[in-house]
Amino acid sequence: MKALLLIFSFCVSVSALRATEPLKILFIGNSFTHMNAMPKQFDKLAKSLDQKVLVEMEAKSNHTLKMHCGRPELFKTINSKKWDYVIIQPFSRELIFDKDSINEATIPYFQQIMDSVRANNACTNILLYETWGYKNGFAERNDTDSFDEMAMKIENGARYIADTFDLAIVPVGMVWREIVNKHPEINLFDADEHHPSPIGSYLVASTFYAAIYKRSFDGAPSTVYPAEQMKTIHAVTYKYVLSHIDNCDLRKNTFFITKTESNPTTKRYKVSCKSYFKEADSLVWDFGDKTSSKYKFTSHSYKKPGTYTIKLTVNDECGIRVYEQDVYFPAPPVKKKPTSNKKP
């Protein structure tokens, strides 16, 4: 049976998506994941923006991926559902070392978890959760004894893992760095100067929202934390993720519909559609006006204003999936005839 799934769009003027089933997301990590109930913050944020999600986590304090691989509970959870996304958080300090150390301490266990996820569902999107530097760095190493130095070492280590496994990165650490360096009035760190404060965990949740949905935070509640700080986090997170979407390889298995304004001269109403399903055997765009296209990148003009349902049907190793979203073009305003001021 065809599944009605999720659509991603840069264009905030496109109406809200429709989905029959929630997006199933599993977080795997340690206290940098579970602190301040970050997955629940993500769940609340997504639902406040009309997304259907089901969020679970397998997160244990001080756990490396090697330690996770010794936990039967982890693999039981992995096998419990056909996850749409599994997010894996490596142990931060393992990523500040050289490639040989990462190859020994992290890569084999990342591989084991990833193999288990793929064995359960070959179509699960696996994301790498990039964490942040400690407030004053990691003093036991001269090359990581400041926040910026440690943050960049983690960035380099995360990219090495992402390149090794051809994975997309959720750049939490780099968004965190943007806030620390440009908005010091927002305290992202807990008292221990390592873990996230409550609003730090909200930044993490916001970065995952932007990375998965590629949508703005318009309409999100702004009363959980100081409103101006939440506004700043939303703006910085959205801008960073969208401007680094290719650098972080976040286009995989997504598509984008951009609506342009109607042209009053030609009376045409145009959309641009781009699909990034690399492994698709075939795909078809149905524009909702009895026209279609088989091109990955295409555009279409409607002759009349109104609401049109655009469908993308993708056929690949995951089966046949149908993605659907409405676009709305309002009718141009009716010009009123000028009234005469002349008296009869």
Report whether pLDDT(4) > 60. Answer: no
4, 6, 14, 9: which is closest to 256 by C-alpha? Answer: 9
Per the model's pLDDT, the better-predicted residue between 279 and 343 turns out to be: 279
**In the chain, what percentage of residues exceed pLDDT 70?**
89
Question: Which whole number is the average pLDDT over 288-300?
Answer: 95
Rounded to two decimals, the pTM is 0.84
Question: Which whole number is the average pLDDT over 93-103?
Answer: 97
Contact in structure between 67 and 60 (CB atoms under 8 Å): yes
| Phi, psi of 26, rounded to the nearest 5 degrees | -120, 125
CATH number of the 255-329 domain: 2.60.40.10
pLDDT at 262: 57
203, 207, 211: which is closest to 167 by C-alpha? Answer: 211
pLDDT at 339: 64
Cα–Cα distance, 314 to 201 (Å, whole number):
35
Question: Which whole number is the average pLDDT over 85-105?
Answer: 97
Cβ neighbors of 109 (< 8 A, separation 6 or more) are: 64, 65, 66, 68, 69
Cβ neighbors of 153 (< 8 A, separation 6 or more) are: 95, 96, 133, 143, 144
Q: Which of 66-70, 121-125, 263-267 has the lowest mean pLDDT?
A: 263-267
pLDDT at 259: 84
What burial class does residue 334 get, using C-beta atoms within 10 Å of its C-beta: 0-12 exposed, 13-18 middle, 19+ buried?
exposed
Q: Which of 177-191, 240-254, 315-329 has the lowest mean pLDDT?
A: 315-329
Report whether pLDDT(1) > 70. Answer: no
**CATH 2.60.40.10 intervals, the chain:** 255-329
CATH number of the 21-243 domain: 3.40.50.1110
Rounded to 5°, the CA angle 192-169-51 comes to 90
What torsion, rounded to 10 degrees, do the Cα atoms 82, 159, 204, 122 define? Answer: 0
Cα–Cα distance, 95 to 151 (Å, whole number):
10
pLDDT at 162: 97
127, 209, 133, 114: which is closest to 169 by C-alpha? Answer: 127
Of 156-165, 262-271, 305-314, which one has max mean pLDDT?
156-165
**CATH 3.40.50.1110 intervals, the chain:** 21-243
- Secondary structure (H, E, C), the chain: CCEECCCCCCCCCCCCCCCCCCEEEEEEECHHHHHHHHHHHHHHHHHHCCCCEEEEEEECCCCCHHHHCCCHHHHHHHCCCCCCEEEECCCHHHHHCCHHHHHHHCHHHHHHHHHHHHHHCCCCEEEEECCCCCCCCCCCCHHHCCHHHHHHHHHHHHHHHHHHHCCEEECHHHHHHHHHHHCCCCCCECCCCCCECHHHHHHHHHHHHHHHHCCCCCCCCCCCCCHHHHHHHHHHHHHHHHHCCCCCCCCCCCEEEEECCCECCCCEEEEEEEECCCCCCEEEEECCCCCEECCCEEEEEECCCEEEEEEEEEEECCEEEEEEEEEEECCCCCCCCCCCCCCC
Report whether pLDDT(11) > 90. Answer: no
